Amino acid sequence: MSESDADLLHETIRQFRWAANYVVLNARNDDGYVETRKGKLNSQTYDNVRSETELHSNLVQAARSRAADALKSVVAKWKRGKNASLPYFSSPFLEYDQRSATFHDDHASLSTVDGRITADYVLPDDERKTPHSEYLFSDDYETTGATLHYRDATDEFYLHVRTKADVDAPEPRENGTVLGVDLGVENIAVTSTGVFWSASEFDHWHREYEKRRASLQQCGSRDAHENMQAVGLKETGRFEQLLHRVSNELVEEADENGCSHIAFEELTDIRDRMPGAKRLHAWAFRRLFSYVEYKAEERGISVQQVNPANTSRRCSSCGFTHEDNRPSQDTFECLKCSYANHADYNAAKNIGYRLLGKQTAGEGGAPVGVRLNTGMMNANGVKAVPTLVRAGVHGECHGL
């Protein structure tokens, strides 16, 4: 970058900061309240900033947006009863968007107070697996903007480029079908469609790693501590792999059944409610939930947690709730209507209904049915179009 281009950037940054600080200074209205709405701030300051600076109109707006965001967080602090002074922008920076800059693979064209300049990127030599190779050069990611920083210590400009996946997130589905998911110690997950993911593989590997740890502890070598850590890392890696697989299959199950929602029980304090659950289980459930959440989102499926109260004691067929409905850990048998089924499957259906009830009672619209392995049930318990039972899964079909 030439000396004169650098001077132009410095002057642009100076005017940008001036504009942002000007918006802050003019944010207080006559009645003493601080304005945070971008539209209002814009009409209060835009003309003056345009006449006082040589900034491109998009940079004027970017400075105003930046000021509005900072004002909002200060006002939010005041509302929480905390002390905070109005923002002041002192560090050298500048916000570009797609209209005030154009981003290419190896350079960017940036708007300044006197036309545009071209800035070549200085990138790491090794382009394998860098953020640049993954995002900047990839056709799958679109550049949405950048923040230009200047560092005095090195006398260098840094451009932090923001990208987003080019494939826009799909529209959320609104057909209102819920897949309920029950989590457990014996079965990691069970769906309202009757798919079971047994915890046996999970338990097997947990025992194996415990054994390895125990023998390391016994031999008590100098490296034992490091080896223990290595075992711990391997264990985590194996479990994460396993949970990724379960989450993929869970989301697939929701997708195949045309579900718009997946319901989990609330994960807070899950160990207190679940006999035999260790810290490892709570960790695994949280991990599984977050995997499912982001994978489902990519398909427009919303993932939510519901109140778990009584979901294991309530009859998913008639609604009768009693602790004696659970003669054993695995079995559910309704004292009132004699509906009998695997306890986890019964709970998964209840978790699905819980989200259904929440939605129909509250926000209006949204879910209308829980997907079951023999069909769909709506909030009134009416059986709808049957669906196929997935091959190779728990195939019981009675119960509606």
Residues that bind Zn ion (CB under 5 A): 315, 317-318, 320, 334, 336-337, 339
For Zn ion, the closer of residues 163 and 317 by Cβ is: 317
Question: Smaller CB distance to Zn ion: residue 26 or 374?
Answer: 374
Residue among 96 and 339 whose Cβ is closer to Zn ion: 339
- How far apart CA 170 and CA 176 sit, in angstroms, is 16
Cβ proximity to Zn ion, 315 vs 376, nearer residue: 315
C-alpha 93/C-alpha 118 separation (Å) is 18
Nearer to Zn ion, 111 or 346 (CB): 346
Residue closest to 351 by CA, chosen among 304, 398, 383? 304
Amino acid identity for residue 269 in this structure: D
Q: How far is the CB of 315 from Zn ion (least distance, A)?
A: 3
Please report how close the Cβ of residue 382 comes to Zn ion at its closest, in angstroms: 16
- DSSP letter for 113, please: B
As measured in angstroms, the least distance from the Cβ of 138 to Zn ion is 54
DSSP state of 324: G
Of the pair 131, 319, the CB lying nearest Zn ion is at 319
Closest distance between Zn ion and the C-beta of residue 400, in Å? 12
Question: For the chain, what percentages of helix, strand and coil (3-state, to nearest 5) are there?
Answer: 40, 20, 35
Instruction: Indicate the DSSP class of residue 168.
Output: P
Residues 6+ apart with CB under 8 A from 217: 224, 228
CB of 218 to Zn ion, least distance (A): 53
For residues 198, 204, 207, 211, the Cα torsion angle rounded to the nearest 10 degrees is -170
In the complex, the smallest distance separating the C-beta of residue 346 from Zn ion, rounded to whole angstroms, is 9
Question: Phi/psi at 354 (nearest 5 deg)?
Answer: -60, -45
- 3-state secondary structure at position 184: coil
- Token pair belonging to 146: 């950048």
